[in-house]
């Protein structure tokens, strides 16, 4: 569990930790290339890469396979977005055992009812009862074999329309149940909800945020406000969609690739990302 230990050390370092989402091995390599501290195995990106909605359609095995792929090609710790834990408390216990055995550094589970739908969809944002989710966190911690394995509790209280008092109550209970970090999600256009939460946060464990909608919040300002982990969870696949659309449109319209060759990666670049020379050297 060297990567889990490394992640735990990062989270206690006092500096802001930056993670970026990926849905395949190449994405994880690019996340590492750009100097991020961790890879977020995004359930949204993994679902979208299959042209499926982020609505608990894929199985734990599907998500775990991708997380392992990300872990094997990168030296960074992988934080696995495990939605609601794939079911009840028994599912959470099984999930922790499988992800830990596979070498994944951390899992993140959220306090919505299974099956869940993506947080930015305008329906289906129902929270699990507080005692039930506290039990899930305790089961997750008890199921881990190593003290280094990181369990992140994600509260969707703001997503479900709760006020800051209710969100704080949930987050404090999750911390007291043993969570190693709290992810507070929000779909507000500014960090106002997060700032209100952070100003009243009363536990000595890290707080993580996902600034998808309040994207103007600078990482330095988030760190000053008390954020320990900032996750850019879905930008890779969103960039991929626009880039592919643009390139394919140009090829279709122009009848050749002459106008886009300077905009796309060279074959040499791809070979380097694949570590082709290292692989070919094995035959020598």
Averaged pLDDT score across all residues of the chain: 97
Rounded average pLDDT over 127-150: 98
Q: CA 236 to CA 231: how far, in whole Å? A: 12
Active site residue 220: no
**Range(s) for CATH 3.20.20.60 in the chain?**
2-233
Rounded average pLDDT over 121-150: 95
Q: CA 264 to CA 262: how far, in whole Å? A: 6
Residue 284 is predicted with a pLDDT of 86
Q: Are 134 and 170 in contact (CB under 8 A)?
A: no
Confirm or reject CATH 3.20.20.60 for domain 2-233, answering yes or no.
yes
- For the entire predicted model, the pTM comes to 0.96
Q: CA 219 to CA 240: how far, in whole Å? A: 23
190-199 residue pLDDT tens: 999 999 999 9
Active-site residue among 54, 81, 111, 180?
Answer: 54
Q: CA 24 to CA 148: how far, in whole Å? A: 25
Answer whether residue 209 shows pLDDT above 90.
yes
Largest CA distance in the chain: 64
Q: Strand locations in the chain, DSSP E? A: 17-22, 38-41, 78-81, 106-110, 150-155, 181-184, 207-209, 229-232
């Amino acid at each position: 569990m060297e990567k889990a230990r490394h992640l735990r050390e990062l989270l206690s370092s006092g500096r802001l930790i930056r993670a970026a989402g990926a849905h395949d091995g190449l994405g994880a390599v690019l996340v590492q290339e750009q100097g991020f501290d961790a890879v977020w195995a995004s359930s949204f990106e993994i679902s979208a890469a299959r042209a499926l909605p982020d609505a608990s359609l894929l199985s734990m095995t599907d998500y775990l396979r991708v997380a392992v792929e990300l872990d094997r090609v990168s030296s960074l710790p992988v934080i696995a977005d495990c939605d609601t834990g794939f079911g009840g408390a028994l599912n959470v216990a099984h999930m922790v055992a499988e992800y830990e055995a596979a070498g994944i550094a951390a899992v993140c589970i959220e306090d919505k009812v299974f099956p869940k739908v993506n947080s930015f969809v305008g329906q289906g944002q129902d929270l699990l009862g507080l005692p039930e989710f506290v039990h899930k966190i305790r089961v997750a911690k008890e199921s881990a074999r190593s003290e280094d394995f990181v369990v992140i509790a994600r509260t969707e209280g703001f997503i479900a329309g709760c006020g800051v008092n209710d969100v704080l109550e949930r987050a404090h209970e999750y911390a007291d149940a043993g969570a190693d970090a709290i992810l507070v999600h929000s779909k507000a256009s500014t960090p106002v909800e997060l700032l209100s939460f952070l100003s009243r946060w009363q536990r000595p464990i890290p707080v993580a945020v996902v600034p998808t909608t309040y994207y103007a919040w600078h990482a330095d300002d988030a760190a000053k406000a008390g954020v320990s982990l900032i996750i850019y969870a879905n930008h890779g696949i969103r960039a991929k969609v626009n880039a592919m659309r643009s390139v394919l449109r140009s090829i279709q319209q122009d009848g050749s690739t002459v106008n886009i060759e300077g905009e796309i990666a060279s074959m040499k670049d791809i070979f380097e990302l694949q570590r082709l020379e290292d692989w070919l050297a094995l035959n020598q």
